[in-house]
A = this chain, B = another copy of it.
Amino acid sequence: MSYIDKAFAALADPTRRRVMERLASGPKAVGEIAAGFPVSRPAISQHLKVLREAGLVADRAEGTRRVYSIDPEGLGPLRAWLDRFWGVALDAFQAEVEGDREEDEP
Whether B82 contacts A82 by the Cβ 8 Å rule is yes
- Please, which residues of chain B bring their CB within 8 A of the CB of A79? 79, 82, 86
Return A15 CB to nearest CB of chain B, in Å: 11
- CA–CA, A4 to B84, complex, Å? 19
Contact with B along A76-87 (1 / 0, CB 8 A): 001101101110
Q: Do residues B75 and A85 form an inter-chain contact, with CB atoms below 8 A?
A: yes
**In the complex, chain B residues whose CB is within 8 Å of the CB of A71:** 89
A98 close to chain B: CB less than 8 A: no
Q: Is A61 in the interface zone, CB < 8 Å from B?
A: no
A14 nearest in chain B by CB position: B5
- C-alpha spacing A75/B92, complex, angstroms: 14
